[in-house]
Amino acid sequence: MAAVTAHERIAALPALVNGDAAVVRRGRFLTTAFLLGIDEVEYLITVSEGRIASLERGPFLMRPWTFALRASAETWQRFWEATPAPGYHDLFAMKKRGAARVEGDLVPLMTHLRYVQDVITAPRRAALLHG
Amino acid sequence: MADLEPIIGRYLRLPLGGRPHRVYFEEAGQGIPLVCLHTAGSDGRQFRHLMLDEAITRHYRVIAFDMPWHGKSLPPAGWQDEEYRLTTERYVDLIMAFCRAFDLISAATQARADDRPVVMGCSIGGKIVLQLALEHPEAFRALIGLESAAYQPPWYDDTSWLHRPDIHGGEIAGAMMSGLIAPQSPSQTRWETLWGYMQGGPGVFKGDLHFYRVDGDFRDRVGRIDTSRCPLYLLTGEYDFSCTPDDTRATAEKIAGAKLTIMREIGHFPMSEHPEQFRKYLLPVLDEIRGATR
């Protein structure tokens, strides 16, 4: 079986989040759009009251976003492993090592940090279930 | 019959900095006093698993207090107009005053080496044991620093994230600390650890970090620690990216005789995030301390 790529993992993200009532409820006060960058490819994730309204693959022309989380495909793959290695287990751990970048308006990110963590680790929880 | 745990909690009246304080503590077990210092922004409940571990309480009297402003220890009267800030000096004073109040430290106990307490602290508690090792080596039988370093590079610039009216202090503290827990730690103890953070008073976590990040750069002094006067153990979890294994290693390399252990599948909160894994590393240390002066 071919390995699941980072791009395939993120494609599954809306269904994973929207299918998890606890995560959607946790994000019910958040409506925004943020970027998740995998290598040079940008994904615009639009959140509407905790649900993922859309996941769009760039490139984008003049599309607004509040904050951006960027890392290499290899880093995201390791972040999404069922049991990630030290330094790959948390966004800020990767950021501290220089393996991830956090950009833009950080207030909505920090206000809803647990929700955003739940969203970006959804592929990890799927890996735990399906390998 | 009521299903009671052997942990007993009481309040100690203690003057600190010339002001009356009421310090909550819990204890269990008997033998060598093991005074436990909780992490920044949390409280002594982090040590509840140790207090229920008979392999420990058979030989050690485990005592954990809530620092003033934390857990069940109220801030001193007048707190409402102050900005809480922990400093090295205040922290050392608190630990020494607490130990003296119980006669754990006195001229008499220093003469009887076997009665001296062991202090074990985590994070800010791990950092302050380095200062205790410098200032008061004769007062303690041994010192244990968990997630301890003379210096750790910060992972964010501005601790104001932890105390501002538009971001919920409990939510942000819990979310930020969640990343410092190892992925292998069991769900129940992971979330109990985070609950401790979610319950902190406004500005208290930030005030503790003043010591951790601003007043707690000990790189200029740890080389003077003399482990022949007091043994020093440093244990750090491999998933801790706040105080990393490399941070602790750099500190241990400056201190002749310091004993370093890197703990697998553990993050920043060994005693509370994964007590079963932590005891594998702690029990040999406690056995060695107990045997060392027999």
Condensed to tens digits (0 to 9), the pLDDT of residues A66-107 reads: 999 999 999 999 999 999 999 999 999 999 999 999 999 999
Interface contact A81, partner B, CB < 8 A: no
Which pLDDT belongs to residue A3? 79
Interface contact A84, partner B, CB < 8 A: yes
Tokens of A26: 């946790």
Percentage of chain A lying above the pLDDT 90 cut: 92
Domain spans in chain A, listed from the N-terminal domain onward: 6-130
Mean pLDDT to the nearest integer, B133-156: 96
Which pLDDT belongs to residue B111? 54
First-to-last alpha carbon distance for chain B, in angstroms, is 40
Cβ contact B122:B38 at 8 Å = yes
Task: Dump pLDDT digits (tens) for B145-172.
Answer: 999 999 999 988 889 999 999 999 999 9
Confidence of residue A56 (pLDDT cuts 50, 70, 90): very high
B245 → chain A, closest CA residue: A86
Complex prediction ipTM? 0.95
Mean pLDDT to the nearest integer, A17-34: 98
Length of chain B as a residue count: 294
d(CA B24, CA B9): 7
A interface test, pick of B159, B239, B277 with most A CB neighbours within 10 Å: B239
Q: Which residues of B touch A96 (CB under 8 A)?
A: 153, 155, 241
Confidence of residue B106 (pLDDT cuts 50, 70, 90): confident
Confidence of residue B293 (pLDDT cuts 50, 70, 90): very low
Which pLDDT belongs to residue B115? 83
Which pLDDT belongs to residue A126? 82
A110 → chain B, closest CA residue: B172
Interface contact B180, partner A, CB < 8 A: yes
**Cβ atoms < 10 Å from Cβ of B96:** 16
The answer to whether the Cβ–Cβ distance between A110 and B238 falls below 8 Å is no
d(CA B261, CA B271): 15
The shortest C-alpha distance from A98 to chain B (Å) reads 10
Which pLDDT belongs to residue B15? 97
Which pLDDT belongs to residue B74? 97
Confidence of residue A131 (pLDDT cuts 50, 70, 90): low
Mean pLDDT to the nearest integer, B282-292: 93
The shortest C-alpha distance from A105 to chain B (Å) reads 13
Q: Is the pTM here over 0.80, yes or no? A: yes
HSE-up (13 A, CA, CB side) for residue B143: 31
Q: What's the DSSP call for residue B212?
A: I
Q: Which residues of B touch A120 (CB under 8 A)?
A: none
Interface contact B176, partner A, CB < 8 A: yes
d(CA A33, CA A98): 24
Task: Dump pLDDT digits (tens) for B209-227.
Answer: 999 999 999 999 999 999 9
Identity of the residue in B167, B171, B241 whose CB atom sits nearest the CB atom of A96: B241
- B60-65: strand order across its sheet: B8-16, B19-28, B60-65, B32-37, B118-122, B142-146, B232-237, B259-263
Task: Dump pLDDT digits (tens) for B10-42.
Answer: 999 999 999 999 999 999 999 999 999 999 999
B76 or B114, higher pLDDT: B76
Identity of the residue in B167, B174, B180 whose CB atom sits nearest the CB atom of A111: B167
Mean pLDDT to the nearest integer, B43-50: 98
Mean pLDDT to the nearest integer, B74-100: 97
Q: Which of B124-128, B214-218, B229-233 is predicted with the least confidence, judged by mean pLDDT?
A: B214-218
Interface contact B167, partner A, CB < 8 A: yes
Q: Which residues of A touch B175 (CB under 8 A)?
A: 113-114, 117
Percentage of chain B lying above the pLDDT 70 cut: 96
Interface contact A101, partner B, CB < 8 A: no
Q: Which residues of A touch B171 (CB under 8 A)?
A: 113-114
Residue with tokens 């005891």: B279
B184 → chain A, closest CA residue: A83
Task: Check pLDDT > 50 for residue B294.
Answer: no
Task: Dump pLDDT digits (tens) for A100-126.
Answer: 999 999 999 999 999 999 999 999 988
**Which of the following CATH numbers is that of domain A6-130: 3.30.1050.10, 3.40.50.10310, 3.40.50.1980, 3.30.1490.20?**
3.30.1050.10
Mean pLDDT to the nearest integer, B64-83: 97
Type and span of the H or E element at B170:
helix B169-178
Query: Which residues face B34 on adjacent strands?
Result: B62, B118
Mean pLDDT of chain B: 95
Domains and CATH numbers, chain B: 8-292 (3.40.50.1820)
Residue with tokens 């069940």: B72
